[in-house]
Amino acid sequence: MAPPLLTLRDIHLTFGGTPLLEGAELSVSRGARLCLVGRNGSGKSTLLKIAAGQVECDLGERFLQPGATVRYLPQEPDLGDHPTTRAYAEAGLAPGDDPHRAQRLLTVLGLTGEEAPAALSGGEARRCALARALAPEPDILLLDEPTNHLDLPAIQWLEAELQQMPSAVVMISHDRRFLENLSTETVWLDRGQARRLDKGFGAFEAWRDETLELESLERHKLDRKIVAETHWLIHGVSARRKRNQRRLGQLHEMRRQRRELRQVTGDVKMTATAGETSGKLVIEAKGIGKAYGGPAVVEDFSARIQRGDRIGFVGPNGAGKTTLLNMLTGVLEPDAGTVRLGATVQMVSLDQKRESLDPRTSLADALTGGSGDTVSVAGKTKHVIGYMKDFLFAPEQAPTAVGELSGGERGRLMLARALARPSNLLVLDEPTNDLDLETLDLLQELLAEYDGTVLLVSHDRDFIDRVVTSVIAWEGDGRWREYAGGYSDLKSQRGGGQADADAGAGAKKAKGKSAGKSAAGGKRKLSFHQAHALKTLPAKIAKSQAKIETHRQTLADPDLYARDPEGFDRLAAELKAAEDELAAMEDEWLALELEREELEAADRG
């Protein structure tokens, strides 16, 4: 077996306070496809920088095979003072590399090579940095959030490009579908250490949950053993002094082990503050259009959005997703047609660029609006420090300026601000940027339980599939069309992808097929809401059964009615309501389970 190209051994690093890395290890073999996963702040980007040779560790060893080449794509690429995008991309080439490959990649990615780096948008800068990293075809590619700011066609192009490259790839990404399609190995960075799974990301989450469950069990056993040993020392029969001292030493050692066990980072606690229930009609658009002195961005588009809809907007960068969204929500006047908002609509928006955050404002003031030290959430007043903890901010971060927060922290702050405001219409423009996978899971669950209407712009295919009930997709030439279901349903109805694989920068038109054709080529499955209900109903049923049993035992007391007739009547009414609720939940679960079995049987057939 060939030795690894790159090895990190026993890596330790501390930036003050709790160590970030404690003995983390990483090995990259030739042709490997490895994804690096973990919570925001777990040290993924730092470990990748150590692998790239850009950060020195406090302790440990980095070994790179002599002659092996490494290229690193940072989260926020700095294009420096290069005069053009071509000059920046070609600066990454080494002697012997194909001098024309950088320009070819720039062209495929929608850049001419003559752009001034300082004038690029976030997505253009990311595509230019990708061209620089990919052009030499290095032995090892280190990619930190390569899909950030890329549209769907560019993400699909990048997947295809990486699949055919011989380079070993180590990637950090929040895009589940991207990781599932590319990775064959997974490294989980957790509490300073790296745990390896010799399978791709598709197998990671089940393995992680099993690992944490076993760890919790071991911690519980240790706790019980400490309690037992403490009880023995205090109350046990006196034995020989030597034996007592040995057991006391063992107890001190167990307590030391327990203290040194680093706890799993808590989960974000998200609650959307519900506003007044909107009318059934939320938005009605008839024949709207918009142009900016050239071809139409939106032409003759009509839609009727009702309460409870979850609508996703997909299309390449520059297609006009934000323009269409702004017209539908009344932020922008259409050139033609009409838009009518329903009664009592309370809208809360999360903007894509986080522009509503003043970088000089403190974290606490950003949440309270600079007035007082409390936040009103879901009709309850909460201290700002407590609300910060719900979104994994430490109390000492309260005075921290917004401009000093990481991308993931700014994303969590924007969510915290948006969810604290009363709403019945959530408008989310790229909410997944910089959020870790666990936070995305919680956001998906919140949106599934949200009583209002959701309008979502995203390039995250998995997130769209899990959240939306329909998709409004760009068809080219200013035309937009609504498809039932999520992104996978859109693909099956069109009979292909969102765009040609070569349309990496969204410069080419999507070639959609008629939505009226059969989706026989696509795999049928339960909707996200049905799957969520099927997963959560058993626990709700068990809770209801326990409540019913408690009421029955109480009502079985023969003296209860004589002692408290009003209490007896109240409990009897509660028992009847609980039994009705249980019957309804059992019927719903049975119907969903039957539908799931039918769909699986159809897929096997």
Q: Say if CB 436 and CB 392 are below 8 A apart.
A: no
Q: Say if CB 131 and CB 105 are below 8 A apart.
A: yes
pLDDT band at residue 228 using 50, 70 and 90 as cut-offs? low
Determine the 3-state secondary structure of 308 from DSSP: coil
Token pair of 323 as six digits: 């323009």
Stronger pLDDT, 374 or 495, i.e. the higher one: 374
436 and 576 together in one domain = no
Q: Say if CB 280 and CB 307 are below 8 A apart.
A: yes
25 and 141 together in one domain = yes
Domain finish residue from 494, 514, 548? 494
pLDDT band at residue 30 using 50, 70 and 90 as cut-offs? very high
The arithmetic mean of pLDDT across residues 263-290, rounded, is 69
Residue 75 has pLDDT above 80, yes or no: yes
Q: Say if CB 155 and CB 147 are below 8 A apart.
A: yes
Distance CA 123, CA 142 (A): 19
Residues 6+ apart with CB under 8 A from 490: 314, 471, 473, 483, 498
Residue 235 has pLDDT above 80, yes or no: no
583 and 474 together in one domain = no
489 and 559 together in one domain = no
Residue 423 confidence (pLDDT): 81
Residue type, 596: R
The arithmetic mean of pLDDT across residues 409-417, rounded, is 79
pLDDT band at residue 514 using 50, 70 and 90 as cut-offs? very low
Picking from 214, 23, 107, the residue whose alpha carbon sits closest to that of residue 508 is: 107
Q: What percent of the chain has pLDDT over 70?
A: 82
pLDDT band at residue 553 using 50, 70 and 90 as cut-offs? confident
Stronger pLDDT, 375 or 511, i.e. the higher one: 375
Residue type, 400: T
Residue 77 forms part of a structural domain: yes
Q: What CATH number should be reported for the domain holding residue 549?
A: 1.10.287
Residue 554 confidence (pLDDT): 86
Q: What CATH number should be reported for the domain holding residue 90?
A: 3.40.50.300
Residue 427 forms part of a structural domain: yes
Residue 269 forms part of a structural domain: no
Residue 420: give the domain boundaries: 281-494
- Looking at 125-139, 386-400, 429-443, which range is the least confident one? 429-443
Question: pLDDT tens digit string along 197-207?
Answer: 999 999 998 89
30 and 75 together in one domain = yes
449 and 554 together in one domain = no
pLDDT band at residue 166 using 50, 70 and 90 as cut-offs? very high
Residue 271 forms part of a structural domain: no
Domain finish residue from 162, 189, 205? 205
Q: In this structure, are strands 281-291 and 296-306 parallel, antiparallel, or unpaired?
A: antiparallel
Residue 43 confidence (pLDDT): 87
For residue 186, give Cα distances in angstroms to 170, 212, 549.
9, 16, 46
Stronger pLDDT, 187 or 448, i.e. the higher one: 187
431 and 578 together in one domain = no
Domain finish residue from 155, 171, 205? 205
- Nearest 5°: phi and psi at 234? -85, -45
374 and 489 together in one domain = yes
Residues 6+ apart with CB under 8 A from 299: 289, 477, 478, 479
The arithmetic mean of pLDDT across residues 88-92, rounded, is 91
pLDDT band at residue 232 using 50, 70 and 90 as cut-offs? low
Residue 502 confidence (pLDDT): 34
Q: What percent of the chain has pLDDT over 90?
A: 31
The CA-CA-CA angle for residues 199, 184, 128, to 5°, reads 145
The arithmetic mean of pLDDT across residues 68-91, rounded, is 90
- Looking at 58-72, 87-101, 171-185, 251-265, which range is the least confident one? 251-265
Distance CA 39, CA 42 (A): 5
Distance CA 495, CA 360 (A): 49
Residue 1 forms part of a structural domain: no
pLDDT band at residue 239 using 50, 70 and 90 as cut-offs? very low
Residue 226 forms part of a structural domain: no
Distance CA 411, CA 145 (A): 15
Residue 507 confidence (pLDDT): 39
Question: pLDDT tens digit string along 38-62?
Answer: 887 788 999 999 999 999 999 999 9
Under the phi-then-psi rule, with left for phi > 0, alpha for psi from -120 to 50, and beta for the rest, what region is 318?
left
Residue 376 confidence (pLDDT): 76
Distance CA 344, CA 364 (A): 30
Question: pLDDT tens digit string along 338-373?
Answer: 999 987 888 888 765 555 677 888 888 888 887 778
Residue 138 forms part of a structural domain: yes
27 and 175 together in one domain = yes
Question: pLDDT tens digit string along 416-431?
Answer: 887 777 888 989 888 8
311 and 410 together in one domain = yes
Residue 261 forms part of a structural domain: no
Residue 142 confidence (pLDDT): 96
Distance CA 598, CA 604 (A): 10
Residue 489 has pLDDT above 60, yes or no: yes
Query: In the predicted model, what is the mean pLDDT of the chain?
Result: 81
Picking from 371, 427, 432, 421, the residue whose alpha carbon sits closest to that of residue 271 is: 421
Question: In whole angstroms, how large is the CA radius of gyration of the chain?
Answer: 28
334 and 426 together in one domain = yes
Domain count, the chain: 3
Residue 356 confidence (pLDDT): 62
50 and 191 together in one domain = yes
Picking from 330, 313, 311, the residue whose alpha carbon sits closest to that of residue 322 is: 313
